[in-house]
Structure 1
Amino acid sequence: MISFEKKFAIVMLSGIMSLAASMTAFAASGIKSVKINIKSDAVTVGKPRNIDDITVSTSGSSYSIEGVDFLDMGTNWELTDIPKITVHLAADDNYYFSVYKAEDFKITGGELIEARRENTSNDLYVDIKLPALTDQVSLIESVTLNSSGQATWSGAQGASGYQIKLIRDNSSTIGGVQNLTTNSADLKYLMNRQGTYVLKVRALSSDNSKSGSWVASNAVSISQADADKNYSESQSRTTQGTWQHNDKGWWYTQADGSYVKSAWKQIGSDWYYFNADGYMLVGWQQIGGNWYYMDLNTGKMLSNATTPDGYYVGASGIYSANGK
């Protein structure tokens, strides 16, 4: 009898322990949504693949990031690549992942591919597609400027053109920001004052929606004698450009490959105005607080004339309220 009672007590104790374990398991809470934030701006065309270029964080609680890795292998990023990563999440104690649908995932900076639970739903592996590199541009490796004003720079993958700006004495931008489709420019005509010059160049993407970082050239010191020489020689350089057009309008490409933006340009004996995108304007335009009229067909500014709608513009092309 005593033996039986001891045995019964042991069985009862074992049952209580099993029940307690079961109750603990049932007490674990399910994680029903996952929030992942990704920043991948440092992933650019031409750079080596480095997982440290990607920053991943979570907005939710009850779980943490255990690791991040690339899904695909490779060396340098190419223009045709679509980066993909796997994010390993681990649930906190007394929690497990209970996510089953795409709607359970809130991902910024990427797009869910798939997710899988492992280790009794305590681990979650989330595969994510990052933005394609199609519209990106690679870094310009080098920019060179000499005392004669000749500038060259290395090409960038994915670039449709380049923006350049010449800076004198770390303060003044000379000639504004120019847009080019070439990898070189003759800036002699701008380096006509004594000082130290640096050229900065950046690449533009195929649709101009993104641009690369500005890359600076070597510094070039110009003496007064050099400046006078550059000015003299630049006066004899050709200034003939070419007109070009597309479905948006006409623009004027200058001899060095740049085009005029947000500025007047005298071509031959006529004046034209080009907008911020470089296109020639026509009709009535308010510029610098004054009204001007540009011929609807040719775009040239009218002066000392009456516009088609009966208003008089003076010698400078400015509309005069005194005449009609």
Structure 2
Amino acid sequence: MTKAGKTFLAAIPAAICLFSFKAQAETRISTVYLEIDSQIQVGDTDSDVTVTADSSAYDVDDVEVTNEPDENDEEWEEGDKPRLKVIVQAEDDYYFPSGFSKSSVELDGSDGTVTSVDRSSDELEIYITLDALDEDEEDYDLDVLGLEWDQSSGIAYWDECEDARRYEVRLYRDGSAATSILTSYDSQYDFSSYLSHAGTYTFRVRAVYSSSVKGDWEESEEWDVMSGSSGAIGSFFSPTPSLPANTAPASDAASSQGAWLKDDTGWWYCNADKSYTTNDWQFIGGSWYYFDESGYMVTGWVYWNEQWYYCGENGKMLTNSMTPDGYYVGADGAWIS
């Protein structure tokens, strides 16, 4: 019994020596220092974050943004707090002791807070919440300039804005909204399919950096579209009246799907075959109109084939009526002297 007892007691110092040797061989890590560089901004769709550790005792093995935007949340918005999961590995001969907590982690760089730490002897899972994203609109140039219509196609154009990631546009007719707010990722929008009624059209556009950072609405010049234009605008790209082009005969056939267009000079009519009438009459929508040598609609008195005819302010030739200056025109529109 005595011999056995002596042998057991002798084993205890041996175990103590083995534990002491292991403790001396591995170095305790009491604090972890992390440098965070977050490039996440309001309006971003990706999550650019770098976490580094300048230490020979441990290293950053992986960084994951756990709440980055998905298909439903397409971008980071103001007030969002990016959340990180950072894996830190201890190097050989180092270990993370029992009791290692979030207070043992110190952050530098981008502002944030350590919310929790999961530990094993050689690995830490560190959970960090960065400060809420904030955006100052003054940091971005979101002024939109150069708004104009292409009256031959119904396409709205504006100058590209460098800081814009997209644009919001809206069509107005006679001062009222004709469409909902539409989105364009280019500096133009084709409104031709919306020009369905006669009226005075404008469009408004604003540059968008993010859902919370947008420029001011800007409005285009007015464009007067007459009845008969809606079905034709956008279906062709016509020459301007001042350029040489084939002219159309004075009939309703060529104009059945044409479009009334207006520029700085006046009104003109572009036929469906891209032609326009010059120095002649054309029957449009049940009325006769006269167009000058440049193709513009004429108002007032017109001398044609040794007869005088009168076209009202809307361009329509008068028949069987008194002209504004007191002369009478007959059923054929000619002045009765």
TM range (shorter): 0.3 to 0.5
| Rg comparison, structure with higher value | 2
TM-score (norm 1): 0.38
TM-score (norm 2): 0.37
Larger helix percent = 1
